[in-house]
Structure 1
């Protein structure tokens, strides 16, 4: 079975519209937005696991690299998954207080580019919308592969720089240049953006991710995360994919 066969059935236009509608609450009501994203992420990982391993994801261990305050933790725990969140920033780890302590799972303060886990020790290593915030994103990817056991899954999803959301809270001004967009945001709001180009936000292309993933020899699927199935072919079109894929999912299976 193709790795994406099961999830492709969920990738409808209605799902895309639902997630896009939730996105507008990311800043004002993060629990609402990340709750919807968490449920969708569990469905994504569960479908990919069942398609490649032939079994349910329950009982497996998922390491979520860059998991922040653990919005995904409860959703994975409810699916019967052992959840381990990894986050280097203590402020980000506690950003959902006072509810953080109620979230299921285990949380570890560590860098995604130096994961504190043994080789081949976890079933699934997930990174959702983190690679664009890392100066060395493929070092992150290499670490994820290192800690994932043979037959397990690495699911690395990130925002493509030239897509409409590449600038994050600076909006489409990033098309004028990342630094210029961040400076413009600072002038308008009186403070630097949380996702500040050059320090906490970097220009990561679809081509770079695909090149890295293919070079590992472990790539089993690549597709736009939020698009309906009929638009997944955009990933195969150089140039166009940089603007229209928006968020790229790379699925790798160590052997």
Structure 2
């Protein structure tokens, strides 16, 4: 079992948004990723802002107004618009300049840098997020560690990625990725006469649900995992993450939500305490 506080688990605020209607809307938007990015990325950005706002309020009791939200792999400006509406100070980090200017959108203050070596000091931001990026880097758990490093004690980290054996694991090369990433890439090239945008082994990697669960289980004692759930499932189906094999096929996107324990006056992490703000989360099939 994953490490959890010895308190009665309480359903996260975001679970109320995780309805079947929401799931169908988001999953349906995937078909527009290449043809109409605004439909896909705009919808995902709005959903991400809701997700982060809900968990941040559950954790701190506050809204995102004035909080710095560092988005690792932020890409174009759809996310900036949504977090701006929430009052947050949005700061994207993106290694690919072509992604930073996709769809003609620009974000003031955007930083060019690698998620696996974030160009920020320790404990720099209140919130650090990554949405659908981990499957595009060769060492996703190094990136997750970097995200925790730059998050302030008492802050929020949200790590969301596409699961390889899920229906969207191959991105535009799916569903042929079930026969292997290289096979799927070759088939795409033969059919379309060009390389896929997401090239297996270069810009697309196989990341599994079990890896996210293992990473959450093995985080240091100063990190508390608040939730692990399938992003695009309604809340009554979140139990699927607890079932080996099935989760690899049905969890199209896994979300890991974590916080860094506040430090004491002596600079040490405070021990687990059920009275601490945010200690009401635990692991349960909500």
For the criterion TM > 0.5, the same-fold answer is yes
- State the 4+ residue runs in structure 1 displaced beyond 4 angstroms: 1-4
Equivalent position of 1:10 in the other structure:
17
Show structure 1 runs of 5+ residues with no match.
none
Match of 1:117 in 2: 120
Counterpart of 2:89 in structure 1 is 82
Worse-matched range after superposition: 236-245 or 212-221: 212-221
Aligned residues, how many?
251
1:244 is displaced (CA, Å) by 0.7
**Whose radius of gyration is greater, 1 or 2?**
2
For 1:202 and 1:45, the matched residues in 2 are separated by 25
Q: Tell me how far apart the structure 2 counterparts of residues 22 and 159 of structure 1 sit (CA, whole Å).
A: 15
Counterpart CA distance in 1 for 2:33 and 2:101 is 17
1:228 alignment partner in structure 2: 234
Change over 3 Å in CA distance of 1:65–1:177 after alignment to 2: same
The CA deviation at 1:31 is: 1.1
Q: CA deviation at 1:21?
A: 2.2
Match of 1:27 among 26, 34, 39: 34
**Do the aligned partners of 1:161 and 1:205 also contact (CA within 8 Å) in 2?**
yes
Tell me how far apart the structure 2 counterparts of residues 96 and 116 of structure 1 sit (CA, whole Å).
26
Q: 1:214 aligns with which of 194, 200, 217?
A: 217
Indicate yes or no: 2:161 matched with 1:154. Answer: no
Q: Within 2, Cα distance between the matches of 1:41 and 1:139?
A: 22
| Counterpart check, 1:250 vs 2:256 | yes
Q: Is contact 1:3-1:220 (8 Å) kept?
A: no
1:173-212 paired onto structure 2 within 5 Å: 173-212=176-215
Say if 1:4 and 1:221, in contact at 8 Å, map to a contact too. Answer: no
Aligned residue in 2 for 1:67: 74
